[in-house]
Amino acid sequence: MTTAPAIDDVTEFWTAHPNALFPRKTIARVRHCSTALLEREAWAGVGIPVIKDGNRCLYRKADVLKHLGIGQ
């Protein structure tokens, strides 16, 4: 019996609703950068806006697209 492959996090990002939230690890893969770079940008107050959820840092897809020059 074969099973369908799991959707990876990058594919999930591109198919998600613009208001969907994603963890730093996924955004690093989408941007082709390290999570450390995203963390430094967050501490400096530059880059993609971060939404804090307890100890987690989340990013809204629409904000990521805007940062990449894809969104409005």
The rounded distance, in Å, linking the Cα atoms of 35 and 10 is: 14
Domains present along the chain, CATH in parentheses: 9-67 (1.10.1660)
Looking at residue 72, its pLDDT comes to: 60
The rounded distance, in Å, linking the Cα atoms of 72 and 67 is: 10
- Per-residue pLDDT reduced to its tens digit, 20-64: 999 999 999 999 999 999 999 999 999 999 999 999 999 999 999
State the pTM of this model: 0.85
The rounded distance, in Å, linking the Cα atoms of 26 and 44 is: 20
Looking at residue 40, its pLDDT comes to: 96
The rounded distance, in Å, linking the Cα atoms of 43 and 1 is: 48
User: Is the confidence at residue 2, as pLDDT, over 60?
Assistant: no
* Angle formed by the axes of helices 35-44 and 24-31, nearest 10°: 110
- Per-residue pLDDT reduced to its tens digit, 4-13: 555 699 999 9
